[in-house]
Amino acid sequence: MSDVSPPSPTGPAALFLGPARAPKGARRETMDLVAKVAGGRLVRDVLFLPPNSAIDRRLRVPIGETRDGEIVTIEAEVDGHQPAYKNLPHRIRLRDETGFLSVAYFRGNEEMLKRMWPVGQKRLVSGTVTFYDGMRQMLHPDYVVDPARGEAPPAVEPVYPLTQGLSGRTLAKIILAGLDTIPDVPEWLEATTVKAHDWPDFRTALEHIHRPAAPEDVDVEGPFRTRLAYDELFARQCALRLRRAVRKTEPGRAITGDGRLSERIIAALPFAPTGAQHRAVEEIYKDMAEASPMLRLLQGDVGSGKTLVAALAMARAAEAGLQSAMMAPTDLLARQHGATLAPLLNAAGIKMTVLTGRDKGKERKAILEQMASGEIGVVVGTHALFQEGVAFHDLGLIVIDEQHRFGVSDRARMVAKGFAPHVLVMSATPIPRTLALSIHGDMDLSILDEKPPGRQPIQTVAMPTTRIEEVIEAIGEAAKRGERAYWVCPLIEESEEIDLPAVLDRHRDLQARLGKGVEIMHGKMPPAAREAAMERFRTGESFLMVATTVIEVGVNVPEATIMVIEHAERFGLAQLHQLRGRVGRGDRRGSCVLLWKPPLGEGGKTRLDALRRNDDGFVIAEIDYQMRGAGDMLGTQQSGLPPFRLVNPEAHAKLLGAADKEARLAIERDPQLESERGKSIALALSLFGYGDAEFVRAGQAG
């Protein structure tokens, strides 16, 4: 096995990856709280916890010039004490030539406060001034120091995210102690990159966000935080590129075929494959013919024909005498994939079966025996496929549908079922090409950007909820013609959560209006109940499915022609497009009704208009990218990104393309990380958590 993973941390890396120290006198639990906030207990973890903002304490003003709500630093003389009485605080009166300020402490120890604030001496006090009963006061000041000793509050104080029981002062001490232990590190970026942006070096950038000289030093889009965010993106992309490079050197086996089975599939089709399908199949065949295991992402819009491409890849494996497996995230989707693949594979004479957790007893035993003997050429299933006791005769190809629903360990367990099987990952969620290349930098990419012939565009209309009666009547008429409809209920305002009461109420209302053929399906139902509801809808026992977004991906009912999305303004553009793609999958034209609640905001209007004008998922993804920025797109579950420490997706996603390009060039030039710069990159990988050889080698598992 070729090893291009970074070496174990030594030198600077060891200092970054050593344990962070608690301040003297801190409680034992303090570091538990720090780990909770920083995501770990290492020096690296606390240093990579960026401030949210900064407090400017440089403003020193006379008492008489302070304004209500202002954070100020005042030098004044202690004029006297007014001890606490009943529910009133202990007050210390300060004076300067412009006026008086009352410093107040609730539940303060009188003796201690008198020692802190000796009458007749000057003190520097910093905090928020408020007005109370016409008097200036400062409740529980942030800092009180003796200027005669040369003491002063910090000029600019970073503000960190905290948790209950952890003070900002304690966390800052731990961070600064860590900062004082770390050395300068060699530059891992190209000199031209640093110069073009006028960025500081890595160590200086860390110094400035934790010891800011001005509040702007901690700005999320300022040069210091941006430099660090670029470093984190660059390290991630280098790790992905290394993963790809390692995979290319892994021992595998070339799969070639004579085309006899794939030709039978194509001959049985009622239409010719699209140019995009031909291109994708050729790319996959080329990968499979390599001795190293394939890891390719097949990205296509709803209805672009990914299943046919997968079937042709399975046929190529069968031509070489090897088995294929397709993993789907749910029983429902596995059985649906099975139903779609069956006629294609039957045409080629390839025996196929479906295996999920639902299969028990003798039936399951028979399937397992046929898989182990090689009698079954293709198995479609769920997590049940990689459980113990499931064995293949000779597994050569794995197809993974909606890969974000499976963890890396899941895919690794599936890969272990065969000898270095080739892996094809499918996604029905179009994202802009630049983002796809960056997010999935460890995979090769095939894009299906054409629709098969005969697919009619879905008629999309937007109307206010005041016209809901017309929509209900139209569904009733469609039901008489044997058509079926979905009614997707709204999300809670400003939330990805579904509004379950709204689903139940809408189902009750529509059932009262349209009769017992109205079904309901939502994520809180047991899986078996959801599947039973879907089966009734698929067979025509029911004609209207009132549902949440659980019907978003993969559900295929050719008779469904109407999609109603209630409160469509609450959904994202990509999600609306995915939902719309559930209808019009048969020979009848589909319609999508976007119901919006007046008044419609500008953002909602733009989204709904964009959807009405476009039916191409990749065009919609680009519009979504422009509207939301890459930040939201990177933050979605679809992206599969790890949680970032210094990257703010909203502010820094625009750096991703450049970071990926620089990483690609760096790894192409030095895939073993042997040059001086290569060693610096290895250090960056260690610091950002990508130095683990297992991460680099995980590419073979997808």
pLDDT of the residue at 554? 53
**Residue 445: pLDDT over 90:** no
**Residue 63: pLDDT over 90:** yes
**32 and 148 part of one domain:** no
Instruction: Please give the angle made by the CA atoms of 422, 425 and 428, to the nearest 5 degrees.
Output: 160
**20 and 102 part of one domain:** no
Q: Which of 239-253, 345-359, 492-506, 600-614 ranks highest by mean pLDDT?
A: 345-359
Can you give the CATH number for the domain in which 127 is found? 2.40.50.140
- Residue 18, domain member (yes or no): yes
**593 and 514 part of one domain:** yes
User: Which domain range does residue 376 map to?
Assistant: 260-448
Which of 568, 549, 547 has the alpha carbon at shortest distance from 464? Answer: 568
User: Of 393, 422, 448, which residue is a domain's last?
Assistant: 448
**Residue 375: pLDDT over 90:** yes
Comparing 90 with 698, the larger pLDDT belongs to: 90
User: Which conformational region is residue 69 in: left (phi greater than 0), alpha (psi within -120 to 50 degrees), or beta?
Assistant: left
What percent of the chain has a predicted confidence (pLDDT) above 90?
54
pLDDT of the residue at 298? 93
- Residue 123, domain member (yes or no): yes
**369 and 466 part of one domain:** no
Lowest mean pLDDT among 143-147, 385-389, 614-618: 614-618
**495 and 572 part of one domain:** yes
Is residue 390 within 8 A of residue 323, CB to CB? The reply is no
- Residue 240, domain member (yes or no): no
Q: How many domains does the chain have?
A: 4
**36 and 91 part of one domain:** no
Can you give the CATH number for the domain in which 607 is found? 3.40.50.300
- Residue 658, domain member (yes or no): no
Q: For the chain, what is the mean pLDDT?
A: 87
DSSP string, 548-603: -GGGSSS---TTEEEEEEETGGGS-HHHHHHHHTTS--SSSPPEEEEEEPSSPPHH
**Residue 41: pLDDT over 50:** yes
- Residue 632, domain member (yes or no): no
- Residue 647, domain member (yes or no): no
Confidence band of 556 (pLDDT split at 50, 70, 90) = confident
pLDDT of the residue at 365? 92
Q: Could you read off the pLDDT of 14-29 as tens digits, one per residue?
A: 888 888 888 887 888 8
Confidence band of 489 (pLDDT split at 50, 70, 90) = confident
What is the rounded distance in angstroms from the CA atom of residue 58 to the CA atom of residue 427? 53
User: Of 97, 118, 153, which residue is a domain's last?
Assistant: 153
Q: Name the one residue in this structure whose structure tokens are 């300060």.
A: 94
Q: Report, as an integer, the average pLDDT of 517-533.
A: 85
Confidence band of 498 (pLDDT split at 50, 70, 90) = low
Confidence band of 491 (pLDDT split at 50, 70, 90) = low
First-to-last alpha carbon distance for the chain, in angstroms, is 17
- Residue 139, domain member (yes or no): yes
Reported pTM: 0.72
Q: Could you read off the pLDDT of 560-603 as tens digits, one per residue?
A: 899 999 989 888 887 888 888 888 877 788 899 999 988 888 88
**576 and 489 part of one domain:** yes
**195 and 273 part of one domain:** no
**297 and 404 part of one domain:** yes
**49 and 113 part of one domain:** no
Q: Tokens at residue 141, please?
A: 């000041």
Q: Could you read off the pLDDT of 539-553 as tens digits, one per residue?
A: 899 999 998 876 655
- For 203, the 3-state DSSP assignment is helix
User: Of 448, 473, 490, which residue is a domain's last?
Assistant: 448
- Residue 695, domain member (yes or no): no
pLDDT of the residue at 108? 85
pLDDT of the residue at 114? 95
**105 and 137 part of one domain:** yes
**490 and 532 part of one domain:** yes
Q: Could you read off the pLDDT of 103-162 as tens digits, one per residue?
A: 999 988 999 999 999 999 999 999 999 998 889 999 999 999 999 998 888 999 999 998
CB neighbours of 449 closer than 8 A, spacing ≥ 6? 276, 300, 301, 304, 616, 618
